[in-house]
């Protein structure tokens, strides 16, 4: 006759089983990927680089990019996107979020959030979480307009020299170093310089029409800026513009 199994024995077996599952899940997550991410509120001001005066009505887009931990290329989806507009004093606020659960197979790039800033009459502003201020998107257009040589603003970790696995992973705090600071926009020195900047103003891949809709203010401001160009340059700058974020297998390319 089989002895009855006590409830305590069953409970012990269940706890051990659950504990084993928990350990396997933890073991599957690289040590540099937190279980949750949180970003504190971002309060900053957009100003004119020459006068220091606030720039009202500028569109600011914050993007938190994800990296596929297995191959350290860009993950197919972003961890977060936010679009806001500056007030009359040039200030903007991106509200805090989190904690949000992180995938064990992807991490937020430590250069995120990227802040893309667009305002008619100015070159596109780009400010990432390295603390560097790069208000001029590095895109050069030759005089003949035959091709565009792209130097990418943001490369995935697997394209960076001397990288180590997890070196570009953010800790659980996904806040911005630009909080409380000024983002300076520069005016173009010529219509061609403005056209060059607008030609590389896509924070996504080149042909992601499905991702353009979440940024209605950004793309409306982009069209407004392009409409100020002479007709020949306006025609040369197509929509959607090129992306300076490398989702390809190359670190530079030529677009017709």
**pLDDT for position 12:** 42
Residue 238: band (very low, low, confident or very high) from pLDDT cuts 50, 70, 90: confident
Question: 240 pLDDT exceeds 70?
Answer: yes
**Structure-block tokens of residue 68:** 């596929």
| Token pair 């130097």: residue | 151
Highest mean pLDDT among 11-15, 39-43, 191-195: 39-43
Residue 200: band (very low, low, confident or very high) from pLDDT cuts 50, 70, 90: confident
Residue 28: band (very low, low, confident or very high) from pLDDT cuts 50, 70, 90: confident
Q: What is the pTM of this model?
A: 0.83
Asked if 69 and 30 touch (Cβ cutoff 8 Å), the reply is: yes
**pLDDT for position 108:** 97
Question: 76 pLDDT exceeds 90?
Answer: no
| Choice among 153-157, 164-168, 186-190 with the minimum mean pLDDT | 153-157
Residue 213: band (very low, low, confident or very high) from pLDDT cuts 50, 70, 90: low
Nearest to 60 by CA among 126, 10, 15, 108: 126
**pLDDT for position 211:** 57
**pLDDT for position 16:** 43
The stretch 22-45 carries a mean pLDDT of: 84
**CATH number for the domain running over 30-248:** 2.60.40.1120
| Choice among 5-9, 76-80, 123-127 with the minimum mean pLDDT | 5-9
Nearest to 196 by CA among 147, 252, 127: 147
**pLDDT for position 17:** 47
Q: What is the pLDDT of residues 100-149, one digit of tens each?
A: 999 999 999 999 999 999 999 999 999 999 987 776 665 555 555 555 56
- φ, ψ at 85 (rounded to 5°): -125, 140
Question: 248 pLDDT exceeds 70?
Answer: no
Question: 91 pLDDT exceeds 70?
Answer: yes
**pLDDT for position 246:** 83
**pLDDT for position 243:** 83
Average pLDDT over the chain, rounded to whole?
A: 82
DSSP the chain: -PPPPPHHHHHHHHHHHHHHHHHHHHHHS-TTS-SEEEE--EEEEEEETTT--B-TT-EEEEEE-EEETTT-SB-SS-SEEEEEE--TTSEEEE--EEEEEPPTTEEEBTTPSEEEEE-TTSPPEEE-TTS-EE-S--EE--TT-S-EEE--SB--GGGSTT--TTTTB--SB---TTTTSEEEE---SSHHHHHHHHTT-BSS-TT-GGGTTT-HHHHHHHHHHHTTS-HHHHHHS-SSPPBSB--SSSS--EE-
């Amino acid at each position: 006759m089989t002895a009855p199994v006590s409830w305590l024995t069953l409970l012990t077996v269940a706890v051990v089983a659950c504990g084993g599952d928990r350990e396997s899940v933890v073991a599957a997550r690289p040590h540099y990927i937190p279980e949750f991410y949180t970003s504190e509120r971002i309060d900053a001001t957009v100003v004119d680089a020459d006068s220091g005066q606030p720039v009202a009505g500028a569109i600011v887009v914050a993007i938190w990019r994800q990296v596929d931990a297995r191959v350290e290329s860009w993950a197919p989806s972003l961890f977060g996107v936010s679009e806001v507009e500056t007030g009359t004093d040039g200030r903007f606020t991106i509200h805090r979020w989190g904690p949000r659960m992180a995938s064990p197979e992807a991490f937020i790039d430590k250069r995120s959030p990227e802040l893309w800033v667009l305002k008619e009459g100015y070159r596109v502003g780009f400010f990432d979480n390295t603390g560097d201020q790069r208000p001029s998107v590095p895109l050069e257009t030759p005089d003949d307009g035959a091709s565009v040589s792209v130097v990418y603003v943001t490369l995935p970790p697997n394209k960076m020299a001397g990288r180590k696995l997890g070196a570009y992973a953010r800790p659980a705090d996904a806040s911005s170093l630009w909080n409380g600071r000024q983002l300076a926009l520069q005016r173009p020195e010529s219509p061609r310089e403005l056209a060059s900047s607008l030609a590389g103003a896509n924070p996504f891949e080149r042909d992601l029409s499905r991702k353009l809709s979440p940024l209605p203010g950004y793309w409306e401001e982009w069209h407004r800026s392009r409409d100020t160009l002479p007709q020949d340059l306006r025609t040369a700058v197509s929509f959607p513009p090129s992306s300076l974020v490398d989702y390809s297998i190359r670190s530079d390319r030529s677009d017709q």
